[in-house]
Amino acid sequence: MCLLRRRDGVEQIGSALLAFGHGEGLRPIAGRLGVPASTVRGWLRRFRAKAIFLAGQFVAVARRLDPSLGHINPRGSPVLDALEASGVAAAAAARRFGPGRRWLFVSGASGGRLLSNTNSPFRAVS
């Protein structure tokens, strides 16, 4: 499964995002995935630009899926917070609907727009 306007699969992009979140450098990530460093740089740049928004939206999704969800601790940076929130939301979906793959859930929950320049399809949270 791919994200909108991205040639690479969401699992590959998600792997790069997680590796970056764990401190791996841009070039090693690109080498391991077999993609140009400029491609990984673009993914990371776009994710960083949307990280605060994504963290908030994935927390809201997680709370809709599991109203009994406790406090989600901040991880120290917008990127880490967004990665944590997407993981918590994917775990809440797995508890509610059964096992699934995290990045496929993330792609579906964002309507394929995880790295796009629009906030759609996340609905407004009141």
pLDDT digits (tens, 9 = 90+) for 22-74: 999 999 999 999 999 999 999 999 999 999 999 999 999 999 999 999 888 88
Q: Look at residue 96 in the predicted model and tell me its pLDDT.
A: 93
Q: Look at residue 126 in the predicted model and tell me its pLDDT.
A: 44
Q: Look at residue 30 in the predicted model and tell me its pLDDT.
A: 96
More confident residue, 9 or 72: 72
pLDDT digits (tens, 9 = 90+) for 95-121: 999 998 998 898 888 887 788 876 666
Name all contacts of 96-100 with Cβ < 8 Å and 24+ positions apart: 96/65, 96/66
Yes or no: say if 79 and 47 are a contact pair by the CB < 8 Å rule.
Answer: yes
Q: Look at residue 55 in the predicted model and tell me its pLDDT.
A: 94
pTM: 0.87
Six token digits for residue 9: 């699969």
Tell me which amino acid residue 103 is: W
Domain residue limits, the chain: 10-109
Question: Locate tokens 């994710």: which residue?
Answer: 47
Distances in Å between the Cα of 9 and the Cα atoms of 3, 106, 107 are 7, 12, 10
Whether the predicted pLDDT of 18 surpasses 50: yes
Instruction: Residue 53: name the closest of 78, 88, 30 by CA.
Output: 78
Instruction: Residue 113: name the closest of 18, 10, 4, 16 by CA.
Output: 4
